[in-house]
Chain A
Amino acid sequence: MKTTTIKYILLFVAQAALWNYFNFTQYLLLVFLPVMILCLPTARGPVYLMAVAFVTGLAMDFLVTGQLGLTSLALVPVALLRRPIIQLVFGSELFARGEDLSFHRQGWRKFMLSVLLVTAVFLLVFLWADSAGTRPLWFNALKFALSLVASSAVGVFVAYLMLAESGERWK
């Protein structure tokens, strides 16, 4: 089994454990699933990524949230928008040269921006669907802001973990 796949599965388990056992506050949702999708090999097309995102979300819902479809609903748009986000932040040369993302080559600032963007997409859909029109806007806005800051900080670390090997290759 490839290292990326193993890392992906391990991070998935970590995310499930985090959601199951660490409920800090109702204003915070710590999530790094979007970063896991972001860090998958660039050679993979959007259809493959969306399928992976859908299955990942479904498994997460089955194991943790109990609301089948909720995480998939939010994670599939991340997979769809991954390519435009990478092109926007890192430039389209990556795809032209067939290179994967590298934490060392691209630098943490760019990674921070891309992690922010994918996390924001995920949180927007997830919080909107999760509240189902029952929570006030200020609550959702506050939860979105806090979760975005915290999840992005964690997300950069997760990206570092996922891309550590490819980074070594480019040193």
Chain B
Amino acid sequence: MVAYVIRRLFQLVIVLLGVSVITFAIMFLIPGNPAQLLAGRNPSPERVAIIRHHFGLDKPVYEQYLLFLDRLVHGDLGESFQFQRPVTSMILSNLGNTAQLAVSAVLIELLGIPLGIYSALRQYSFWDTALTTSALIIWGIPVFVLGLFMQTVFGLYLGILPVSGGGGRTFLYVFPADWTNLSVLILPAVTLGLIEVAYISYMQRASMLEVIRSDYVRTARAKGLPERSVVLKHSLKNAIIPVMTIAGIDLGALMGGAILTETVFSRPGIGLMIYQAIGARDLPVVAGGVLFATLVYVIANLLVDIGYAYVDPRIRYED
């Protein structure tokens, strides 16, 4: 097990290095005039010169990259030209909101697990068909369209929930501590969660169906084990593994900012920060946000893999 973890950590470092290279290439090698791009909108020539010097753009490429990498390793993601603020600090101040949304959405999507299992056990029943069809429909709805729908129904017509905004107090960054905080959390979290519940219940159903038809479940029945044990012990552990990994990866992805959701609901967070930066062509913020999100995503993937290997011992021996 330990050997597996070490191997994965090693891979992680390589991947992160690769990410830094590619991001560097995107930021500095693709554009015709990277200094111009990094300096922001309508920069003055002096500003461009400062940027050029800051990133060492007159130096050879590999030196530029090393400079870039050095900064990254020290947590320096550059500075927003709009706000003249270090990107890292911007990210940290938005992190709480994003984390709250991410955790809530994932908790909601975990409901897909019992839904999928139930559906698999009652295959071809009315419930099963209903669930699968609605899952397919909902899964395909782009999140901003669904968000719109939610805002209309709950915000405009029913008027019970705010359609935008942030704020309020939290407990441990993630738990709402007052109604304001909770009320602005509900719609975005449910929107995100709903689409994922559709996906997860569909996947869980598929996984469960496969497991139920497997040879080892047949063996379990042939041994005369009670159905409860066949389902809960033998089937569940195998069926849930792929779905738990989906949920874990989702959490990692959402921690990088659910940009579409935060935009639709005007909810402060890393996503909204990036959106706003795109409009203003504030490349350092966009790149910084993406790098942060990627780091979190990669780490989340690693943790999920390790969890997977813990539960399914075969994985420890593969590569």
State yes or no: do A and B come from one complex.
Answer: no
Q: What is the interface of chain A, defined by CB distance below 8 A to chain B?
A: none
